[in-house]
């Protein structure tokens, strides 16, 4: 019996620290993920003056962005930066209705039910129906927020957040697109898919990956690094594709070209649990294109569109046997359909007890060992590995 850091005495068995799937409050994996800054929305999807309900790791929150300032700037040219987003508790402290249904007023949020108003620090500042307001006694929880590269990051852990990490490669010139999709399975199905280069030859046999050379079955190997795990896929000619899993839930790869104009792209994506049976991915794609070609790409219709609804519907039709994947051709979102089938097909929570891992699963085994080691250290209040991101991590394509 071990006294856990959240104060509750609970039995800790090996099953606890190999449980990477359950991420609700108080779970080991959930506590671990909450120790890192995580993206939870795209900047472009959060309008000024709107509040949204948000579920992350089986917890509910309120996300809003203040109203745009109506004040014109003196030079008439410059524009004010958009107001920063705020992440607050889900419920009003008065009688608990959900705050996202209310009204954003300036940089504050007014509750839908009886009009209590909160500022961006969570402090209650108005109680319209109270003859003797007691606002000063009412404060709801708020969370640190950063906006970076088109994504809204939050820190959901206890105490001071760690320094906000930057990804210099993704700040470089080129066409940058924030991406997102929702998938109806546990986030760890996706994490393991990301360190599984063998699947490309089967799952993505009809795709830009294989069109551009990732056809043959690779020899897979990998190693733990300062920032996570590097995965290498060596193909018969000797060329090696290297991708990176940055702890705890980030994948960095070279992505396949959309067409001859774009070349291989750099892609980074965070897999974020919504709850234990659904996850969302937030990412950045950087196309290394400049000048007129870049402008053409920026104007391309549908750039960065969230096509989850279409992808999940088609994948559902394939998984229920209505159609076969070979019958859908090669739509632009084919890779999403293919990965959805593979990952949701494992079950919303994959059954790892009844797998039969082989030599080619060597990096999957490695990443599980790394995670289990860290979760065990967390359970026993021992020091965790301090992951360090180098100035530049290169994913390579090797074709
Ligand atoms: S529940 Fe929010 S003001 Fe009453
Ligand atoms: Fe894939």
State which ligand 1 atom lies nearest to the alpha carbon of 114.
3
At residue 319 the predicted structure's pLDDT band, cuts being 50, 70 and 90, is very high
- Ligand closest in space to the Cα of 214: 2
pLDDT tens column, 300-309 = 888 999 999 9
State which ligand 1 atom lies nearest to the alpha carbon of 116.
3
pTM of the model: 0.93
Cβ of residue 114 lying under 6 Å from some atom of ligand 1: yes
- Nearest Cα neighbor of 311 from 283, 269, 343 is 343
Substitution candidate for ligand 1 out of 51, 90, 94 with most atoms within 8 A of CB: 94
CA 119 to ligand 1 centroid distance, Å:
15
Residue 216 main-chain phi, psi, to 5 deg: -75, 155
Residue predicted with more confidence, 68 or 163: 163
Q: Is the pLDDT of residue 183 over 70?
A: yes
Other C-beta atoms closer than 10 Å to the C-beta of 188 total 27
- Please name the helix (run of DSSP H) or strand (run of DSSP E) that holds residue 181, with its range, or none: strand 175-183
Domains of the chain plus CATH, in order, are: 41-154 (2.102.10.10), 168-379 (3.90.380)
Cβ of residue 113 lying under 6 Å from some atom of ligand 1: yes
CA 111 to ligand 1 centroid distance, Å:
6
pLDDT tens column, 263-308 = 899 999 999 999 999 999 999 999 999 999 999 999 988 899 999 9
Closest protein CA for atom 4 of ligand 1: 114
Portion of the chain with pLDDT greater than 90, in percent: 83
Substitution candidate for ligand 1 out of 101, 105, 111 with most atoms within 8 A of CB: 111
State which ligand 1 atom lies nearest to the alpha carbon of 111.
2
- Ligand closest in space to the Cα of 255: 2
What whole-number distance in Å separates Cα of residue 34 and Cα of residue 25?
A: 9
Residue-wise DSSP of 71-105: PPPTTSS--PPPPPEEEEESB-TTT--BGGGSEEE
Cβ of residue 111 lying under 6 Å from some atom of ligand 1: yes
């Amino acid at each position: 019996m071990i006294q856990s850091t959240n104060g509750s005495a609970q039995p800790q068995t090996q099953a606890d620290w190999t449980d990477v799937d359950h991420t609700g409050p108080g779970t080991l994996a959930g506590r671990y993920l909450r120790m890192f800054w995580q993206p939870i929305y795209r900047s472009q999807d959060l309008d000024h003056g709107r509040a949204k309900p948000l579920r992350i790791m089986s917890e509910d929150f309120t996300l809003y962005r203040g109203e745009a300032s109506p004040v014109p700037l003196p030079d008439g040219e410059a524009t004010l930066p958009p107001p920063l987003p705020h992440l607050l508790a889900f419920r009003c402290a008065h009688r608990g209705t959900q705050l996202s249904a209310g009204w954003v007023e300036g940089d504050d949020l007014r509750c839908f039910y009886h009009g209590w108003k909160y500022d961006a620090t969570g402090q209650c500042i108005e109680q319209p129906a109270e003859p003797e307001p007691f606002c000063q006694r009412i404060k709801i929880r708020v969370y640190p927020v950063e906006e970076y590269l088109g994504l809204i990051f939050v820190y959901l852990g206890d105490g001071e957040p760690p320094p906000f990490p930057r990804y210099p490669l993704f700040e470089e010139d080129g066409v940058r697109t924030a991406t997102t999709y929702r998938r109806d399975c546990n986030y760890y199905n996706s994490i393991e898919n990301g360190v599984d280069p063998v699947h490309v030859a089967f799952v993505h046999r009809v795709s830009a990956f294989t069109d551009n050379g990732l056809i043959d079955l690779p020899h897979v190997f990998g190693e733990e690094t300062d920032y996570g795990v590097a995965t290498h896929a060596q193909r018969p000619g000797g060329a090696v594709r290297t991708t990176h899993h940055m702890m705890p839930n980030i994948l960095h790869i070279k992505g396949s070209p959309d067409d001859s104009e774009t070349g291989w792209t750099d892609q980074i994506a965070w897999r974020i649990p919504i709850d234990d049976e659904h996850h969302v991915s937030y990412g950045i794609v950087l196309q290394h294109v400049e000048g007129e070609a870049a402008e053409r790409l920026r104007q391309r219709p549908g750039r960065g569109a969230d096509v989850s609804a279409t992808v999940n519907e088609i994948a559902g039709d394939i998984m229920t046997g209505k159609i076969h994947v070979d019958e859908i051709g090669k739509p632009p979102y084919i890779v999403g359909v293919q990965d959805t089938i593979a990952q949701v097909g494992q079950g919303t929570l994959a059954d790892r007890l009844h797998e039969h891992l082989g030599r080619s699963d060597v990096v999957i085994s490695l990443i599980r060992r790394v995670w289990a080691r860290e979760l065990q250290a967390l359970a026993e209040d021992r020091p965790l590995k301090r992951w360090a991101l180098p100035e530049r991590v290169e994913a390579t394509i090797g074709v």
